[in-house]
Structure 1
Amino acid sequence: MQHDADRLRAKRARSLDQHQARQDQQAHQDLGFYQRLGLEMPESTTAADTFLISIYCERWTQADLDRGQFSQGEAVIEREAVDADELQRIAQDHGMDSPSASDPRHQPYLWFSSSTPREDREYFEEGVHKYYSLHIHEADGHRPQPTDWQRIADLIGVRFDHPLQPQGPAHETEGPDLCP
């Protein structure tokens, strides 16, 4: 009961923070605001490093494990906009450690998940295994592309078996050529 109340308070606080941030951003983008003050409007801001995410939890009891199918799932976070720092924190808090595919080019949709159960009170007292999945609906205002998936994986510390190669110029290594 206390856990649900804490989660609800945290969700409300995040919602209020996001609402305030949207109001602040709108004030900064209001041309009339700057004209009334005799100032020039600053350059428009971009949605760089903004992610629209959801986190889902699968709850497995011993009976579920025996059956091979979980019976209870819930959305922990539902379509919430977060920045890169918050995405890193959320991924770490929920134990995200594996991608749903071996390559970020596997389209149209990927997600990240935890491969070990969260060791919380329910785990130790009731044997309930909770696994989480992170779904990215948008990256910087658009549906994620392979480069976005790679950037997100790098950001949260998850590795693809076949990652995208850096697109920068190839540099020769300095030093003597040791091959005859």
Structure 2
Amino acid sequence: MGEDTKNHDPLQGAVGNDDKNVIKKDDETVCLKPKMTLTNGITVIVGSIIGSGIFVSPKGVLKGTGSVGLSLIVWIICGVFSMVGAYCYAELGCMITKTGADYAYIMESFGAFVAFIRLWVECMIVRPCSQAIVALTFSFYVLRPIYPDCDPPDDAVKFLACLCICKLMRTIINFIFSKIRSVL
């Protein structure tokens, strides 16, 4: 109660806070050093762009086009569009150096309200739906060897996907509580 709160550093004693990761700017604000290696960048791109969709979409593209040659052309065109999008995203990252990625870019361009709405939609709709799609894809391919002559039953795929998501949530909750216990 008697400690001076004006000179209190909020990051002092935080988990993972060490001098090599923290910098002080001219106005004495404390922030983390930006560091992303080539390996980090490659894993982010592979994880977010390729993801699990690479295992599902070739079948749909081949069915939609009707030929292998045309499906390869569609894949090349989509790859060019993705590359242009990645270049635009890299340019944004070079121009707007604030942390927060999409949130920072939208905040800078359109203001706080639109950035908040975008972040809210990302957290409440996009991320959970993406995790559900990944879990369903994983479940389908895990059950595929059990049903070699036909597609696995939808109920079995959904049940296994629910188990995967519940296991992931349990792991996250255990991790959070272990970090809270280690700080206390």
**TM-score normalised according to structure 1 size:** 0.27
Q: Which protein has the bigger helix share? A: 2
**TM-score normalised according to structure 2 size:** 0.26
Structure having greater relative contact order (Cα 8 Å, sep ≥ 6):
1
